[in-house]
Each structure stands twice: as structure tokens, then as C-alpha cells.
Structure 1
Amino acid sequence: MNVGPISGASVGARRRGGRKLAALALGLALAVTACGGGGADAGAGQDDGKGKGKDSAAAQSQQSEAVVAIAPEDGAESVKTSGALKVTASKGKLTEVVVKNPDGDPVEGAISGDGATWTPATHLAASTKYTVHAVAKDSEGRTAAEDSTFTTLTPKNTFVGHFTPEDGSEVGVGMPFSLRFTRGITHPDDVEKAVRITTEPPVEVEGHWFGNDRLDFRPETYWKAGTKVTVDLNLDGVEGREGVYGKQSKKVSFTIGRSQVSVVDAKKLTMKVQRDGKVIKTIPVTTGKAGMETWNGQMVISERLKVTRMNGETVGYGGEYDIKDVPHAMRLTTSGTFLHGNYWGGDAFGNYNASHGCIGLRDVRGGWDKKAPGAWFFENSMIGDVVVVKNSDDAVVAPDNGLNGWNMSWEKWKA
């Protein structure tokens, strides 16, 4: 009789234990269901062969076989500005590569025809952090991507280019864009590539090096009046010589004004001023006397001075002259050829050559007479106008003596 209660107690204990086990089993089932993506649907999937086991295998089979590699490695510092950046893809083809600086400006570049590599079209800026995002697809069209950042080197030695004409200026049809570098350049192709010139209307513009520190750009013939010229100086980071890097990133724009070409005849002692192809004035002149003849050739006005001092000692004519108030002077060569007003020449203008190589126009001391030929020509000229000298007994001016590259053929200019 005592067995019942004892047995009953045992039964009760087993029931409580059973409920705990059942609750635990239900919790595990719910946990599995939650991770597996849901209840009766999951069970139904197993029944018709579409269960979670096969879904996992399918997801894995959709992973791209393409492998994207970026050089330099992520987080790299002091990276060279040229030759270090490259993106490649194996077992697939690159479809997108975006490289940006901190301002969000993209680096131009191109994916190779086989999709295996991407390389930048130009050098990178110095001391700059870049981000890289690259995407490739495998033969099944599945994509793989990589992202990276790196920072370029900070150079110890730098150079800049001093340029003419000035940004925003209006100049004559003969004006080249001229750069003089503060260091001799031993990688000229890299530097020239970093200078991009665009024009409106479009015209072919080519660069030419004079020595290793001067680079001039011009079209084949004089600029067309009204042309707008834009120069992108992307010199920041370009290695101009071993261990010496450019530090300029600047845009320069200038406009070509009306066309003015003045032709000086050293035998007839005249200058015909042609405006837009028509002669608007003929002026009597005096040019270089025997033994000091004026250069022949095309010369560009590079400087305008209302008054200046001219001392023969500066050009090898020591003691010949020292005039402290030469009016209306316009420089034509680096070596010292000017076209200027002359108040001391007497009746030389149109009659005989009396100068030390310059082109003289009658003027008054102080330059106050606006009707005097020297004053008139000064007021009707601008930087970049062309002065052509012919029939002088001297040689043709050297192309690098001033901004006078027009004295070089187009073929030699481009060579």
C-alpha cells in the first residue's frame, strides 16, 4: 500500500522532468528555425529538395573566382608618385577602377584591353592620400572588389615653373606660353606631359625645349584673334630630375586679342603696322647702324616700359651710351633689342640707320606728346604683338633670344 504514494511521487518527478526536456527541445527547434530562415517553409523546402543545405552550397558557388590586387599595399606610405600604382585582376577582368584624392578628384587611368591591368595616365601628387576602389568579374559574371588607401612621398627637393603670359591676360597673336624652371630638367618628357593646353577654337599646340630649363608652347602659325587658351600645370609630384619633384598645380588662362603684326624694313627705314591684316599706319624708323645692325626675323613684344634706362655696358657697348629716360620702350629680345621712342635721333627717322641695334621711333623727352610715333605705337601695342624685321644686314634672331620661336620651322619645333 505504501508503494502507490512512492510510485506517484516518482511519476510526478518524471513528468516535471519531461516538461523541462520538452521545453528545451522546443527552444532548440526555435533556435534552429530562426537561424535557418523560418518554420514550416524550411521544412517544406527539405521535403521537395530545396532545403537550407542546398541553399548554402549555392551561395558558396556564387562567390567570384576573380582576384583583385592593388599595389602599393593598403596603408603604404612614402609611395613614389610614378610607377608604383597598379591594379590587376586574375581569373577575371577589371570592370571598374576609381582612384581619388582627398578632394574627391579622380586620377585618370585606363584598363588594358584584356582587362588584366589598370594603370594611371599621369603621375600622382606628392604628400597626398589616395583611395582605390577596384571591381573585377569572372567568366560567370560574378564580381569581386578590393579597396585600399596609400599616401605618396613628401619630396625634399622641389622645382617650379615661372610662366608667361600672366593668368587672365589678353595678349597678341605671337605670344607663346613659356615656362622657365628653377631646376634643370633631366626628365623632359615627364614634365612636358604634365602641361596640358586646350584652346577654343581648337588648334594643335606643341612644346619645344630650349636647353634643360625652358619649355615653350605655340601653334604652327600665329594664334587666331579671339582664341581662348587654358593651361593646366599639373607639375605637383612629377619627378623633373632624380629626387627633385614639381610642386605646382595651377590653371592659367589667357585670351588672344586683335591681330597686330608690324613689318620693319631696314633698307626703306619704315614700319608698316598691320591690324587684322590691313595696314593702319606707316611710321618712319631708324635701325642699327653698320656694325650694330638690328636682327632680322620675327620678334615678339615681351615687355612694355613707359620709361626706362638704357646703358650700353649691359649689352657690351660700354661707354657708347647711357640714357636714363628712354620713353615708350618695348623689349623684343633677351639680349637687349628694343623698339622704343627716341628724342635724341634728330632727322635719322626714315633717313638713315643710327641706333645700336634697336628700332627707334621719333618721340619727345618725357613722352608727353601722344601724337609722336613712339607714343602712338606704344599705346596701340600689347605684349605678344609681332614685329618682323627684314632687309637688315644682320642674321635672323635666334629662336630662344626672347619669345621668338616663330623663327624655327614647325618640323624643327616638334622634333
Structure 2
Amino acid sequence: MRNVLRRAGRAAAHTLALAALLAGVAGCRGPALDFSGKHRSPEESIRVLPDHGARDVPPEGPLEVRLPSGRLERVRVTRIESGAPGRITGRISEDGLRWTPRDGTRLSLAAKYRVDVVALDGHGRRSARQTTFTTEVPAHRFIGYFKPENRAVTGAGMIVSFEFNRKITDRAVVERAVTVTSDPPVEIAGHWFGDDRLDFRPQRYWEPGTKVTVRIRLRDVEAAPGAYGIQHKTVSFTVGRSQVSTVDAAAKTMEVRRDGSLLATVPITAGEPKSTTYNGRMVISDMQDMTRMNGATVGFTDENGKGEYDIKDVPHAIRLTESGTFLHGNYWAPVDIFGRVNVSHGCIGLRDEKGGSGDSPAGWFFDRSLIGDVVEVVNSTDQVVEADNGLSGWNLSWARWKAGSALR
């Protein structure tokens, strides 16, 4: 079995092949399940409303999770807009087939939500699904959804990233309205990727212990004709420590260094020759203890249009790019391939056990990782990952980074 997913516009050989971490960003671009498909058994159909990626969802919903059979084990609905975390509480029906929010629940306007579901089929086997959706933004208003979350503790490679729900035509006025400072102080610059994304980073990785403060003063700022901001808030995060892991695709190893000291050298499997792993520095942006990966969502199908693989319980899944590169546990490959053979379609696989084991290499690494940690791939025959693919801006030189500011 293969491990990984790749970039949307690349050829299938470079599309992530082990999976589609089904999520808003899930395991490679979008939900891993197609509920209108003809090839799904009832136990596999975790149905979430609103649909994955839905926009402009009204405050009254709909919001629910359904199963045709089996039993829901866990449903979590969390507001993930930084600075305003919160959870929607609800209940699972007595038959275990439906989750609904408590009576009177209303979603917040201009907010992004994530739905995490774990379900059991009739044989007690787990499967997972993760989706995201955003609620209505008032007419003639815009909002920036940003990372990391307020009061988060991150790795030293964390990049502050804003994604706007409308195209920004006056980038300078928006960039002026967002200030990022640090204690101890360092120079921090913004960089625009297109007309709806603005990232901030220093010249080098943050020093451990640094407190970073983000002041957002977008309220009534006109970013495009007739479109005014609604946010006025201050958020912060703290850099916990510096962990940089170097994956050598040729040697098939990963060296994990914490604050410069080597913690361990872990055997891995990377992308096979026809679907190699990106080179370059990537930043951990999401972590799931279990997720689902399906080849059909990324173009890996057989002659009948079914996915070449459908793994419902991929353990210890760590997202590295938006296009679907993951570092994750692998329990289905022979133990002796790790450190010896590259068999994935671009992901980085670590040995694991079914259900995920904290004593496995994958579990060990997962338990010692933070959002914002850096994973750098070297000696692959692939290109360097693009700077806007996930939080990969460290692959730009400082001069090129600052040249992308609207205030230069």
C-alpha cells in the first residue's frame, strides 16, 4: 500500500497516493468519501452537513452527522477561527446513528468550523472523517481566517497566515492594519500569495520562548470597493521549542533534532521513483490521531473508477502541505521496507500498528510534535515545494519574502 497525496495540479504520478485525509484540507484536498458514489458500503457513509468546504452557511445550520448503520463514537464540532475557539455541544441519538447540536444552538457569523467524526461499523471497525465549513459573512464585509490559534504553543517554524474570504484589491491598507510583533523583538515581514492570502514570518526561525503578538485592526478598513473589514482583536502565541526533522529521501531516514540536539534517527519510507516526495522545508499545520485516506479523491482509481486504496484508520497523520503531503503512521506495509525502500506516492511513512501505537516510531514522533515544527526533505528527485503550498514560506530567501510585501 502506498502512503501519500500530492498537489492538485500535478500529474497523477505526483498526486498524493496514499490518501485523502478526509478533511477540509483533509488528506489531500477534500473529503475522502463520495456519498453519491455507487461503490460505498453503508458502513462507510459518514454523512456530515453542511457539506465539506461549504461557505455562507446560515447561523441556524443545517448541522448534523448521520450514519446509515453502525454507531457514532465521537463527534466534535469546533470553531477554529483563531482568537475565538469554541465548541458546539450536542448529543448522539440512542441508536447511535445521528448527532445533532443542542436545542437553540446558533452558529457564529463569519466563523470557520471543523467537524471531526469517528464511527464504528457493524464489525467494530473504526473509520474517521473530518470536514470544515464557514458561516455567512455580512454583506459588504470581509474577514481574515488566521493561524495559529490564540494562546497556542507552537514550534519555531510557525508562520502567521491569513486567508481572506474576499479578494483584496488594496493590499497595502490591509497589510498596514495587521501588525505582528515579538518579544524578544525581531524584524517580521508580510508576503502576499495572490489576492486573498497574507503570511508573516521573521528572517529565521523564532527563538524558543518568543511571544508573538498579532494585532488585527481591520474593522471598517476598505479592502476592495464596498468591502469593509469587521475584525478588531489582539491574539498571541508562544514558541515552545525548536524541533527540525530532516528527512533524507535517498537514505530513507529522518533525523529529529530538538534545540539542535539529535533526539533520534527514524527509518522512513518516502515517495517511490514515479511519485516522489517534495524537497524543501514544510511546517506542520495539522495533526490527527486517526484519519481516512482514499485514492479516488486524488485520481488513483482502477478501471471501474474505484479508489486503488481506501484506508479508514490511518494513524498519527501530520499534515505538511495543503496539497496533501503527510507524515503518517503505516501499519499495512511490511516492517522491513522502512529504512530500505521508498513505496509511497509522496508522503512520508513511519512504522506503526493498526489503531496507532504510542510505542511505534510514528506514535513516538506524533507525541513529540507541535503545530509549527519544521520537517525538511532533502535528496529527493522532486522539485522544492512551492512557498504557498501549506506553510512552506521558509523556502523563499529573505529578500524574496520581503519583496512580496505590499509595503515595500
User: TM-score interval w.r.t. the shorter chain?
Assistant: 0.5 to 0.7
The AA in structure 2 aligned to 1:212 is D
2:400 paired with 1:409 = no
2:316 paired with 1:328 = yes
2:214 paired with 1:211 = no
The answer for the alignment partner of 2:7 in structure 1 is none
2:172 paired with 1:189 = yes
The answer for the alignment partner of 2:157 in structure 1 is 174
Distance across 2 between alignment mates of 1:315 and 1:381: 27
2:340 paired with 1:357 = no
More helix by share: 1
Distance across 2 between alignment mates of 1:315 and 1:333: 14
2:185 to 190, 202, 211: 202
The AA in structure 1 aligned to 2:172 is D
Give the superposition deviation at 1:312: 1.6
The answer for the alignment partner of 2:363 in structure 1 is 375
Give the superposition deviation at 1:292: 0.8
Q: Secondary structure at the match of 1:292?
A: coil
Of structures 1 and 2, the one with the larger relative CO (CA 8 A, separation 6+) is 2
User: 1:162, 1:179 within 8 Å by CA — same for their partners in 2?
Assistant: yes
Give the superposition deviation at 1:317: 2.3
Give the superposition deviation at 1:320: 2.7
The answer for the alignment partner of 2:86 in structure 1 is none
**Could you give the per-residue CA deviations for residues 341-400 of structure 1, whole angstroms, max 9, x where no partner exists?**
000111210010001110000000001x32100000000001000000000011000000
Distance across 2 between alignment mates of 1:380 and 1:283: 13
The answer for the alignment partner of 1:337 in structure 2 is 325
**Could you give the per-residue CA deviations for residues 126-173 of structure 1, whole angstroms, max 9, x where no partner exists?**
xxxxxxxxxxxxxxxxxxxxxxxxxxxxx9500000001000100011
Q: Which runs of structure 2 are paired with 1:122-133 in the superposition (5 Å)?
A: none
Q: Secondary structure at the match of 2:365?
A: helix
2:205 paired with 1:222 = yes
Give the superposition deviation at 1:338: 0.2
Distance across 1 between alignment mates of 2:347 and 2:376: 13
Distance across 1 between alignment mates of 2:155 and 2:161: 14
Distance across 2 between alignment mates of 1:405 and 1:235: 24
Compared CA separation, residues 350 and 203, structure 1 to 2 (3 A): same
Distance across 1 between alignment mates of 2:379 and 2:252: 10
**Could you give the per-residue CA deviations for residues 287-325 of structure 1, whole angstroms, max 9, x where no partner exists?**
000111000000000000000001122223232321110
The answer for the alignment partner of 1:278 in structure 2 is 261
Q: Secondary structure at the match of 1:174?
A: coil
The AA in structure 2 aligned to 1:282 is T
The AA in structure 2 aligned to 1:378 is F
User: 1:330, 1:340 within 8 Å by CA — same for their partners in 2?
Assistant: yes
User: 1:315, 1:336 within 8 Å by CA — same for their partners in 2?
Assistant: no
Runs of 4+ in 1 over 6 A off after TM superposition: none
Question: Any unmatched runs of 5+ in structure 1?
Answer: 1-154
The AA in structure 2 aligned to 1:351 is R
**Could you give the per-residue CA deviations for residues 89-139 of structure 1, whole angstroms, max 9, x where no partner exists?**
xxxxxxxxxxxxxxxxxxxxxxxxxxxxxxxxxxxxxxxxxxxxxxxxxxx
1:394 to 356, 372, 382: 382
Distance across 2 between alignment mates of 1:408 and 1:198: 21
Give the total of aligned pairs.
Answer: 260
Q: Which runs of structure 2 are paired with 1:47-86 in the superposition (5 Å)?
A: none
Q: Secondary structure at the match of 1:356?
A: coil
Q: Which runs of structure 2 are paired with 1:25-64 in the superposition (5 Å)?
A: none
Q: Secondary structure at the match of 1:313?
A: helix
The AA in structure 2 aligned to 1:309 is R
The AA in structure 2 aligned to 1:381 is S
User: 1:315, 1:335 within 8 Å by CA — same for their partners in 2?
Assistant: no
2:150 paired with 1:162 = no
The answer for the alignment partner of 1:294 in structure 2 is 277
Distance across 2 between alignment mates of 1:228 and 1:331: 24
User: 1:264, 1:270 within 8 Å by CA — same for their partners in 2?
Assistant: yes
**TM-score under structure 2 normalisation?**
0.63
Distance across 2 between alignment mates of 1:408 and 1:324: 36
How large is the RMSD of aligned CA atoms in angstroms?
1.0
Distance across 1 between alignment mates of 2:385 and 2:299: 17
**Could you give the per-residue CA deviations for residues 191-239 of structure 1, whole angstroms, max 9, x where no partner exists?**
0000011110000000000110000000011111110000100000111
The AA in structure 1 aligned to 2:321 is T
The answer for the alignment partner of 1:256 in structure 2 is 239
Compared CA separation, residues 336 and 156, structure 1 to 2 (3 A): closer
Distance across 2 between alignment mates of 1:389 and 1:204: 27
Distance across 2 between alignment mates of 1:226 and 1:316: 43
Q: Secondary structure at the match of 2:241?
A: coil
Identity %: 60
User: 1:227, 1:256 within 8 Å by CA — same for their partners in 2?
Assistant: yes
User: 1:288, 1:358 within 8 Å by CA — same for their partners in 2?
Assistant: yes
Compared CA separation, residues 335 and 156, structure 1 to 2 (3 A): closer
Q: Secondary structure at the match of 1:257?
A: strand
The answer for the alignment partner of 1:94 in structure 2 is none
Q: Secondary structure at the match of 2:387?
A: coil
The answer for the alignment partner of 2:131 in structure 1 is none
